[in-house]
Structure 1
Amino acid sequence: MKFYLRRITFYAVTLWATISLNFLLPRLMPGNPADIMIAKMQRAGGEVSETTIRNIKLLLGDDDAPLWEQYFGYWGRMFQGDLGVSVTKFPTPVADLIGAAMPWTIILVGTATVISFILGVVLGAWAGWKRGTWVDHIIPATTVLQSIPYFWLALILVAIFAVGFGWFPIFGGYNVFDFPRGPEPSWKFVSDAIRHAILPAITIVLSSVGGWLFGMRNMMVSTLAEDYILTAEAKGLRPRRIATTYAARNAAIPSIAGFSITLGFVVAGSIVMEQVFTYPGLGKLMYQAVLSNDYALMQGVFLVITLAVLAANFFMDLIYGFVDPRARQNV
């Protein structure tokens, strides 16, 4: 119980600190969302009335208010689900933009990350169990794929399988000509979205599976040298039981800890992947927000990423404490 109470306290304090930083950092930067919006309107249409300027400041935040008042107002609006209004896609609320982009990222990047983790851990455990055999040749191949720059690998896959063979779409999350009104709940749309997601998913798996495989293989080799493995072998236990119950379970503990961080950043998406494939996820949304100095949108995306990372780490901490009782005893 003491272990879980300390974990909850730690994550509560971390959540408060990160949300406070998320509030302060944009306000410490030069300029503000209201001035950016007014400047864009002036460049586009010339004169902007005082009434319009006042309305924009009311929507995007009144900088004349004291900082502490803005801070408590920020917390109040956040609990109500009000993350502000996007400058680049005015007057669309930030929460609506994030809500539209998040499912794409979670489904694609989340699924690909879980597949990569499971594939890497299983193959790594197999390579560690079969150390010194031909199975070890899998590691150099996956390491080479991991060392290739992410965007270059994505472009190679697009050039070969999308442009060359024409097996997959070149860009986008779905065919906008077949679905001009956007996503719809139909099998035709789902199948089209899956077809658009295959190449980005393959890119994520190929780029990340090598790290999981290499780490698991080394931990498996180290675990197999432990005394309790020798004791299990001396007792005459079946090799499969030794490999799975004793060796792989303990060797996977560091990978589980690393997976919690990776799982949290799933919500952030892959900025490079989503840019290359023009995929409508959170990574692309964050990139557009940074380019446009859209502070409200940046704050909203960073807040979602922060909450996702903390939630994933908290969840995996609970699992880690259950899998490895030593973690609870050392607190």
Structure 2
Amino acid sequence: MAYYGRKLLFYLAALWAAVTLNFIIPRLMPGNPVDILLAKLQQRGGSVDPSVRRSYELLLGTGGGGSAVSEYFAYLGNLARGDLGISVSVFPSPVSEVIMASLWWTVVLVGIATLLSFLLGVALGALVGWRRGTWLDNLVPSTTVLAAVPYFWLALLLVALLSSALGWFPLLGGYDVVLSPGWNAEFLSSAIYHGTLPALTIVLSSIGGWLLGMRNMMVSAMSEDYVLTARAKGLRGSRVMIRYAARNAVLPSVAGFAISLGFVVAGSIVTEQVFSYPGIGSRLLQAVQNNDYALMQGIFLVITIAVLGANLVVDVMYALIDPRTRVSG
């Protein structure tokens, strides 16, 4: 229990530091972020009244007539109530609604693609490592080359080949614009069809890293005494590979998967931009282009919570899989 308590305290401290930085950074920006946001709002024909100014002041911690400490605690109070302010990019929608409207697109697309690349990479890496020195081992460099190709370049190649040349997939968008979003077969099939090519880009660019890492760990695990003992007992090769070698070799990959799982919320900004996919990455880029500080703060906060939460969950799972970590940790 002491191990889990230390981990929980560590992540709570990291969350507090991230929230504090989210409060401080806007105050270090040149000029007054509130005035910049309201000026953009006026250009878009929005109504600028004291309540709008006050909402931005409370969100960004600028003005309000109080001290920095009182503004900081007011900011924490707003976060506790789920009040992230008003978005300028999608005025007058609250930031929380804007984020939730885009978040599930990214979670479904990048989450499924990340999980598939992890499972395929680990499974193939275990097989290649078990049969090291064979023709399968010679195929590893071809998969790792894809990991070195930039996301945007691979995405553009797939768009040019599979969309423009062959017409197998749509060029852009998350669904057919003539459809209304909803939980019906027509919309879901359209969303899957539009998301296949972006997901394929993520899988192809990620699978090589998981494969190579798992392959190397398998080679190392196969020289351990417990694997040699299992082989000496005459156990089936598949059982030795899965129950003894792969089970221990996969532990570092699980830790790496925690980081990737946390960044699922961040999405793949470049990939979403190439495909004009309506995810959180595209929304973040839009916020940066429009100086929408409230939306940027909200997205950064959600990403931080997702990364910390994913790492905490995997730390707990890691300790359950390998009890030695509870002693050393």
Q: Deviations over 1:157-176 (max 9, x none)?
A: 00111111111110010111
Aligned match of 1:283: 281
Cα distance 1:44–1:288, how it changes in 2: closer, same or farther (>3 A)? closer
Gaps of 5+ in 2: none
Is it true that 1:200 corresponds to 2:201 in the alignment? no
Q: Deviations over 1:62-96 (max 9, x none)?
A: 52232212211111111111110012222111001
In 2, Cα distance between equivalents of 1:59 and 1:11: 29
Cα offset, 1:42, TM superposition:
5.2
Counterpart mapping for 1:43-122 below 5 A: 43=43, 52-61=48-57, 63-65=62-64, 66-122=67-123
The code of the aligned residue for 1:317 comes to D
Aligned match of 2:227: 229
Cα distance 1:296–1:235, how it changes in 2: closer, same or farther (>3 A)? same
Question: What is the root-mean-square deviation of aligned Cα atoms in Å?
Answer: 1.5
Q: Deviations over 1:163-204 (max 9, x none)?
A: 11111110010111x12xx41221100000000000000000
In 1, Cα distance between equivalents of 2:138 and 2:286: 41
The code of the aligned residue for 2:116 comes to I
Query: Aligned with 1:219: secondary structure?
Result: helix
Query: Aligned with 1:131: secondary structure?
Result: coil
Check the 8 A contact 2:129/2:216 in 1, yes or no: yes
In 2, Cα distance between equivalents of 1:87 and 1:168: 33
Cα offset, 1:137, TM superposition:
2.5
Cα offset, 1:44, TM superposition:
5.8
In 1, Cα distance between equivalents of 2:51 and 2:7: 44
The code of the aligned residue for 1:162 comes to S
Check the 8 A contact 1:162/1:169 in 2, yes or no: yes
In 2, Cα distance between equivalents of 1:266 and 1:91: 27
Aligned match of 2:328: 330
**Which range moved further: 131-140 or 257-266?**
131-140
In 2, Cα distance between equivalents of 1:42 and 1:271: 29
Cα offset, 1:43, TM superposition:
4.9
Check the 8 A contact 1:131/1:221 in 2, yes or no: yes
The code of the aligned residue for 1:61 comes to E
Counterpart mapping for 1:138-153 below 5 A: 138-153=139-154
In 1, Cα distance between equivalents of 2:250 and 2:188: 34
Aligned match of 1:13: 13
Check the 8 A contact 2:125/2:215 in 1, yes or no: yes
Cα offset, 1:41, TM superposition:
4.6
Aligned match of 2:30: 30
Cα distance 1:251–1:41, how it changes in 2: closer, same or farther (>3 A)? closer
The code of the aligned residue for 2:234 comes to G
Gaps of 5+ in 1: none
TM-score w.r.t. the length of structure 1 is 0.94
Aligned match of 1:132: 133
The code of the aligned residue for 1:169 comes to P
Cα distance 1:85–1:238, how it changes in 2: closer, same or farther (>3 A)? same
Cα offset, 1:53, TM superposition:
4.9
Counterpart mapping for 1:158-169 below 5 A: 158-169=159-170
Cα distance 1:175–1:32, how it changes in 2: closer, same or farther (>3 A)? farther
Cα offset, 1:24, TM superposition:
1.0
Check the 8 A contact 2:37/2:291 in 1, yes or no: no
In 2, Cα distance between equivalents of 1:77 and 1:124: 47
Cα offset, 1:239, TM superposition:
1.2
Check the 8 A contact 2:102/2:280 in 1, yes or no: yes
Cα offset, 1:38, TM superposition:
2.8
In 2, Cα distance between equivalents of 1:42 and 1:85: 14
Check the 8 A contact 1:32/1:295 in 2, yes or no: no
Check the 8 A contact 1:271/1:287 in 2, yes or no: yes
In 2, Cα distance between equivalents of 1:201 and 1:305: 20
In 2, Cα distance between equivalents of 1:184 and 1:324: 43
Cα offset, 1:329, TM superposition:
1.2
The code of the aligned residue for 1:172 comes to G
In 2, Cα distance between equivalents of 1:40 and 1:10: 40
- Which residue of 257, 260, 279 maps to 2:258? 260
Q: How many aligned residue pairs are there?
A: 324
Query: Aligned with 1:61: secondary structure?
Result: helix
Aligned match of 2:124: 123
Check the 8 A contact 1:268/1:305 in 2, yes or no: yes
Cα offset, 1:52, TM superposition:
3.2
Check the 8 A contact 2:130/2:218 in 1, yes or no: yes
In 1, Cα distance between equivalents of 2:12 and 2:44: 45
TM-score w.r.t. the length of structure 2 is 0.95
